[in-house]
Each structure stands twice: as C-alpha cells, then as structure tokens.
Amino acid sequence: MATIAELGIRYRSGEATPTGVVRAYLERIEALNPQVRAYFTVTRDTALAQAEAAEKRLKAGAPLGLLDGIPLAIKDVICTKGIRTACGSKILEPFVPPYDATVIARLGAAGAIILGKTNMDEFAMGSSTENSAFFPTRNPWDLGRVPGGSSGGSAAAVAADLALGALGSDTGGSIRQPAAFCGTVGLKPTYGRVSRYGLVAFASSLDQIGPFARDVRGAALILQAIAGHDPLDSTSTEVPVPDYTAALGRGIEGLRVGVPAEYFIEGMDPEVEAAVRAAIDVLKGLGARTEKVSLPHTDYALAAYYLIAPAEASSNLARYDGVKYGYRAAGGKDLIQMYGRTRAEGFGAEVKRRIMLGTYALSAGYYEAYYGKAQRVRTLVRRDFQQAFERVDLLVCPTAPSVAFKLGDKEDPLQMYLCDVFTIPVNLAGLPGLSLPGGFTATGLPIGLQLIGKPFDEATLLSAAYAYEQVTPWHTRAPELA
C-alpha cells in the first residue's frame, strides 16, 4: 500500500504511471466494493481521462501539481459537475450538479484524479453510515462493524485501499470519528480554512470539509491543495496558508500538550483509554511537556450541539420541496400535499427527527429557551478552549469513547449521539482537530488518537501527529480483505 507522497516519487522516477495506477484501483474497487460498499458512484471514465491527462503532463515534463496523478474519493455531499450528488438521500438521488465545489476545482488544479463519490449518512446526519438511504457501508477491519459516520464511505475507501486519500465533511466529528474507527488519518480544519462553496449544507456554522489519508503527510498534501480563502464563500477567511509539509519534520521538543480531564470519562472503553494514555507517554518521550487542563463546559456541549445543528438543518433542508430539483412524489392534489408527500417519502427517519427537533427549537416561544441558550453554551465551550490554549499548544485525547461497534448495535438515537462526545466540542468552537491511528484492541480494531489545536494552527497539529506517527507502527497496518 503506497502513500500519496510515495506514489508521487514513483511517478517521477518512471516506476509507475497514472493510467496504470488508476486501472489498478478501478479493478480493486470492482472486486472489493461489493463487500465494503464504500462507493456510491464510481466515475470510471472520468478517472481514466484524468489519468491520461496526468500522464501527458509527466511525459511532457510540465510543472506538476501538488497531487498530480493521485487517485482520491469524494464524499457524496460535495458537488461535482456532471456527477450525481445524492448526499445519501432519496430526495436528492437524481440530482446532478451543474458546477464543481471549490475544493473539487482546487483538487483538479492540483492534478488529482477522482475515482468516485462515497457513501454517507443521509445529509451527513449520523455516526455509522447506517443512515444512508441506499445501503450501509462496512468497516474494512471487520465487515460486521460500522465504519463510523457520517463520512464512513470515505474512511472505508482509504482504509481498504480503494483510494489513496479522500475528502469528507465534519459537522460534529464526521471526519475524525470514522478515521478513528477505520484506522486512517482524518483532519477537520479550522472553520473558515477550507471553502464550503459546493458543500451541501447540514449546519452552516459547523460544517467543514477536510481530508482523509493513510498517513499524516498525505493529509497535509490534500489540505495544502484545498485550503485558502474563497470569495464564493462568505465564511471563508483570508488567513495565510502555511506550507504544511514543511512543518512535518520540525519535531515537538518543548511542545506544551494539554490533557483535558473531561475527555477521560467513566464508561469509555478501557482499551481506548489505555492506548491514548500510552500515546501521551510517547509524546512525552519525544520531548513534549504535558499538563492537565480542564474544559468544564464539556458536559453541556452535546446537548447544545443537538439544538444548534438541527435548528440550522431545519432551515437548510427546507429547500428540498420537490419543485426545483431532486425527488418529487406523485399524486399530490395541490402544492402543499406535494410538499408533504415529497418530504415524507424523500427524507429518512434520522433526518426527519432532526428537522422536527430544529423546527421546534426555533419556533415562537421556544427560540430563546432552547436555541438561544444553546448558543450561549457554545460561547462557554469556546471560552474553555481559549483559556486552555493560553497554557498549552495543543490538546490530546481520545477521538471516540469506543472502537467501531457492530452494525445495528445502536438503534437508540441517544446512544449513537454519544459516539461524538469527544469531537462535537471542537466543531462548536470552530477549532482544527485531527484523528490518527493510536493503537489497536486485542481483537484487532483500530483506536483513534485525537489532537486539537488553536484556530488556524493546523501546522502544529500535523507536526505533532507526524512526530508520533514516525515512532509508532499503527499507520503501517492494513485490513485483510479477500
């Protein structure tokens, strides 16, 4: 299994060609995707055409892009011109965007090749990719378990070597949690670091696009390609983008690492806690200085999130009415009945649950009691992080309280929501967070280690993650798939 950086070296030496690599990946997808079900759409013709163009650039000696010839997968919540984008929902199944999201345009400029669109929880609402309207995705490490969510298809594609890297979106942990469950690197950038133009909205103040890769350098390369200000996105910031790969070798001697007490809770998997504490010891051995910190409002973050995110979803998803695009139910006697039937048939149970919850929280008489109060709690959560970062450079903690659970195990929505208890506060505060392989259970399931950084300081996160990765073997393991 090559990495993104290794494949780039092979291209330049003539050891490999983009067309040969892409054909090999398409064959592997054809053989293994029926088991893993990571892809919703495979763009064979597009990928081969992009590979041929990359090969011509190589042969001509033209200046190469950052990701030239690198085959990637794209979460099906990101608009791709001429390629259907269903967001895991029946209501958008026939939708084909007439434009590319900014991140897709930037990947194209960097020379990347798109192998296809990956399965996901419907409208990114879920933590297991079981909420897809079409089929569940399976974890490559154990096909009877979930890959996490909502970006489970992207994480599974990278873990199963069905793509060298991928894009996902993270609203409350939807990149980091599946990265942890599938044993990959997953990075949620700072809110505003990467353009959201062309990302189908779930919760607009929380959503952020980010990369999956097999190793930290691969994630850094993808982030380098997609980061930066975009005038098409009003929430995109004009903060300069550093050279992320240049930061990888600088070491972590003297780095101040905070260990939040609230992220080591009763009821979490003992193997997860043991692995994370062992990882903290590794960081200390590399020269980092660790200290305990407190994030006292962590207990309220989950409740605040499940008011803010559904409230924004109820507004964003109102556009799906069967009139302009997407699915339309037959048989409505008037416009109102057509609306009702379309939404009843087009949306799944979890999406309906969140729309109703959000609509209630925004309704007259309840807005201040629920949504307004949740936003004030969000401010307190953000202040907790600000105070912690006055003392430390980054935080280290588990990505999730458990490893991947079995398909169908968490039918209770509240049990599912608790999977994101360690990731949600990062989204509320708009911070960057990274999950990387931090060990394995006795039964061979990956454990995720989460690093949380200061706003727009992805470079420090990547540097610390890279230092840890270089002295541990976890990222070199791969699932065995027949």
Which single residue is written with the structure tokens 């779930």? 202
Instruction: Say which residues have a Cβ less than 8 Å from residue 37's Cβ, sequence separation at least 6.
Output: 119, 135, 136, 137, 138, 153, 156
Tell me the C-alpha to C-alpha distance, in Å, between residue 155 and each of 80, 151, 187, 434. Answer: 19, 6, 11, 14
Torsion of CA 75, 80, 82, 88, to 10 degrees: 30
State the DSSP string of 290-311.
EEEE--TTHHHHHHHHHHHHHH
d(CA 75, CA 108): 16
Catalogue the active-site residues: 75, 150, 174
**Which tokens in the block code for residue 219?**
């994630």
Q: Which of 176, 419, 139 is nearest to 306 (CA)?
A: 419
Asked if 43 and 114 count as a contact pair (C-beta separation under 8 A), the reply is yes
d(CA 256, CA 138): 38
d(CA 96, CA 117): 12
Instruction: Say which residues have a Cβ less than 8 Å from residue 329's Cβ, sequence separation at least 6.
Output: 322, 338, 341, 342, 344, 345, 346
